[in-house]
Amino acid sequence: MISKKIILHFPNRMVDQPIIYLLSKEYDLVFNILLARIMPNEKGVMVAELSGEKENYDRGVEYLKRQGVIVQLLSKGVRRDDQRCTQCGICTSVCPTGALSIPDRKTMEVTFDVEKCVACSLCVDICPSKAMHVALNKSGELVLDELI
Ligand code: SF4
Ligand code: SF4
């Protein structure tokens, strides 16, 4: 059994397709949607946790790609620039998942656990040093050049 957080970028012709139902029914995968946005141009971006047997997971992802869906691991989409980060801690007050946190009150070091991140962008907006970066542009589309 594996579980991965992924970013799906749907072309507009697929926004109203029962993709999640098919993945569940045909590939026995569990789909936990963490974030979903339909853009004004009707393209869709979804951040989700996909779980199941590895073979089914691989087949399900291949199915999505064949349909024209861009599938990428979430961990590739969010970064912290440690050169810019001043360890001020402001981001920890808005991060909904605890991906940004201060686990040790003695050192007050702000840690970033990319596995917990759901790419909500709240830290990007609030960081005074512009240290957090989510590779989604303002329209919610993946900035592919930064992910490859
Ligand atoms: S808000 Fe920005 S500068 Fe402050 S700890 Fe978070 S990432 Fe670092
Ligand atoms: S994008 Fe930032 S605020 Fe949102 S979950 Fe990830 S680290 Fe936390």
Task: Give the domains, in start order, of the chain with CATH numbers.
Answer: 2-75 (3.30.70.260), 80-132 (3.30.70.20)
pLDDT for 13-48, tens place per residue?
766 678 888 889 999 999 888 777 766 667 777 888
Nearest ligand, CA of residue 79? 2
Q: Comparing 56-70, 99-113, 123-137, which segment has the lowest mean pLDDT?
A: 123-137
Q: What are phi and psi of 24, to 5 degrees?
A: -70, -45
Nearest ligand, CA of residue 102? 1
Global model pTM greater than 0.75: no
Q: Which atom of ligand 1 is nearest to the CA of 123?
A: 1
Q: How far is CA 2 from the centre of its chain?
A: 17
Among 120, 125, 129, 130, which residue has the most ligand 2 atoms within 8 Å of its CB, making it the best to mutate?
A: 120
Q: Which atom of ligand 2 is nearest to the CA of 100?
A: 7
* Whole-angstrom distance, CA of residue 15 vs CA of residue 11: 7
Q: Which atom of ligand 2 is nearest to the CA of 132?
A: 2
